[in-house]
Amino acid sequence: MNKTFFNLIQEVQKPGFCHHCGGCVAFCTAINYGALTLNEQGKPIYKDMEKCIECGLCYSICPEISELDEEIKRKTAWSIPIGRVIEMTIARAKNPDILENATDGGVVTALLTHLLSIGRIDAAIVSRSTGFFNREPFLARTEEQIIESAGFHFDTSHGMKVYSDEYSTFSSSVQELAPMVRKGARRIAFVGTPCQINAIRKMEALGVVPSDSILYHFGLFCTGNFSFGEAERKKLEEIGKFKWEGVRKVNVKEDLLITLNSGEVKKISLDKLDFMKRYACRYCYDYSAEYADISFGGIGSEDGWTTVLIRSAIGRAVFADSREDDVEEYTHLDNPKFVSEAMDIVRKWSSKKKKAARENMRNFEKPVNIKE
């Protein structure tokens, strides 16, 4: 007998392991019948239990269920310690408009606009800012829309009263997959966190439509997803000794970097941010989006540059094709080992996240079938 969404509630949601990736809802076979939905916090819930056909698809594609792990490892040629890596480089976008909006080097945005300009994709699934640390999934169909979605946005101009008291660095972009087919998009580049990439790879392993429309998987380095509610914001002000009205830019690298209007940068160790990290992230093993075609992050790179891990043949082709006009790579004659040193930093943070997840799982009474 198939395990169903009821089992996901018992084995994943109740213990606190749900990442709110949205895969179970977006690809629910019964979604047209209204079986599942996402609540206001992005948590998957029953909309109408009676309409669930108990196919078991939602259970199989959950990133926290291990039954398809071997299939996606074979599909992506995964290898220890951080997945397949064909090539690594440090790069940034050449387009000044992209660099202005980007948090790091804007390479993700540069590759997306490149793919769109040469007709390789119809659209890109990204996340865009809707206010103060609040993001939503978005199907970007133009270069302007892709560029507008770049970066870790910090924008209070909309007014705090427009939004709820809870904000997050996470956007459940997987839920944009189902509507994309109705919008006529058949060739898609997907940008997401490790848990989202994991869910999509499982959908592909099962041959679930419309995951076959995802041609490019761009993964983001992830130390965890953070909630920026009122209590969390006040505590951060106390830790960093700053006021939010004086903040110009926020980024997450080896530390949480808060750039003030004065140009001063406040650094807060990520070890001090457990109070605002999503509970499920404590049990996640994937830092560098190990199942992506290309993985991206600012860690290991100088300010204004992106660390890039190329993992698949299609990822290598995309990056190689964009080298001449869209991205430039870092060269440092005084330190020819710079890229390899950056790789060591990525491995270090990946190992740190895996170790923490293992320790947290050992301290938890693990439910059956939850992967370790």
Residues spanned by the domain of 306: 87-362
Residues 31 and 150 in one domain: no
Select from 67, 98, 122 the last residue of a domain. 67
Q: How many domains does the chain have?
A: 2
pLDDT at 346 over 90: yes
Residues 58 and 114 in one domain: no
Instruction: Give the residues across from 191 on adjacent strands.
Output: 218
Residues 49 and 155 in one domain: no
Residues 177 and 260 in one domain: yes
Is residue 368 domain-resident? no
Q: pLDDT digits over 6-19, tens only?
A: 999 999 999 889 88
Distance CA 170, CA 193 (A): 8
Is residue 250 domain-resident? yes
Residues 29 and 99 in one domain: no
Q: pLDDT digits over 273-329, tens only?
A: 888 888 888 899 999 999 999 999 999 988 889 999 999 999 999 999 999 899 999
Q: pLDDT digits over 249-266, tens only?
A: 788 888 888 889 898 999
User: 17 Cβ partners below 8 Å, 6+ apart?
Assistant: 11, 64, 280, 283, 370
User: 15 Cβ partners below 8 Å, 6+ apart?
Assistant: 364, 367, 370
Residues 55 and 104 in one domain: no
Residues 35 and 121 in one domain: no
DSSP code, position 312: S
pLDDT at 228 over 90: no
Number of other CB atoms surrounding residue 158 within 10 Å: 13
Q: pLDDT digits over 76-86, tens only?
A: 999 999 999 99
pLDDT at 113 over 80: yes
Tokens found for residue 127: 């996340």
Mean pLDDT of 47-71: 89
What pLDDT, on the 0 to 100 scale, is given for residue 61?
86
Residues 118 and 261 in one domain: yes
Mean pLDDT of 66-82: 93
DSSP code, position 337: T
Point out the least confidently predicted range of 43-57, 110-124, 141-155, 165-179. 165-179
Residues 36 and 104 in one domain: no
- The pTM for the full model equals 0.84
For residues 189 and 124, the answer to whether their CB atoms sit within 8 Å is yes
